[in-house]
Amino acid sequence: MDNCILVSKDKSAIEESIDSLKQGPENFIFTDKGDLNKYRGIKNEKLYMERILQAMDINTCMTNYCPMPVVGPLLNRDTAGPDRKHDLRYRRLTGMLGYLQQTLCPETSMATHQCTHFNNNPKLCHEHAVKQICKYLLGTMDKGLVFTPDVTCGLKCYVDQTLLEDGLLATTKILNQFFLGQVL
């Protein structure tokens, strides 16, 4: 894992969590980068979300936000469906949402990935899905994800490394899966 942010009202709880990961079977190495206020992603989070909402032409003063990033069945090609209504840069928006879900909003991962599958020929239903994610961001801009740690469950990492040989070219494919207790 490249980055990890631990937040708690009780500093000793953070120290206890770090010690448990350092001294556990994982033997993680931690580097304290200082106060959270100095973390670049936190400062720019709201500005980046506002930029996405502006690109989607959603007014940040709106109050009708969506309570979750994805609702309903998985998206499909919808080849017979109507074309998009707005002349927005769909690929650019899904790219921005992809960056956001990797850095700040992991709860939007599935919805964002669904939308990126249709970058080449997005239809109206795909435009609506992107708009729904944006409305979700509108309602959660000033909130964060809260995890309740359970130091008894442990953190496990499973690594599958496969060497793929294709004539003269050999590449390595690595798959990591992290579990916190029984949750992937």
User: What pLDDT was estimated at residue 82?
Assistant: 92
User: What pLDDT was estimated at residue 123?
Assistant: 93
Within 11-161, where are the H helices? 11-23, 40-55, 90-103, 109-116, 124-140
Phi and psi, residue 14, nearest 5°: -65, -45
Q: Burial, 100: exposed, middle or buried (Cβ in 10 Å; 0-12, 13-18, 19+)?
A: buried
Buried b / exposed e over 13-52, threshold 16 CB at 10 Å, is eeeebeebbeeeeeeeeeeeeeeeeeeeeeeebeebbeeb
User: What pLDDT was estimated at residue 152?
Assistant: 76
User: What pLDDT was estimated at residue 30?
Assistant: 78
Mean pLDDT by 10 residues, the chain (184 residues): 73 86 80 67 72 85 69 80 86 91 84 90 91 87 71 72 54 64 62
Residue 94: closest CA among 135, 64, 125, 126: 126
Place of tokens 């959660």: 140
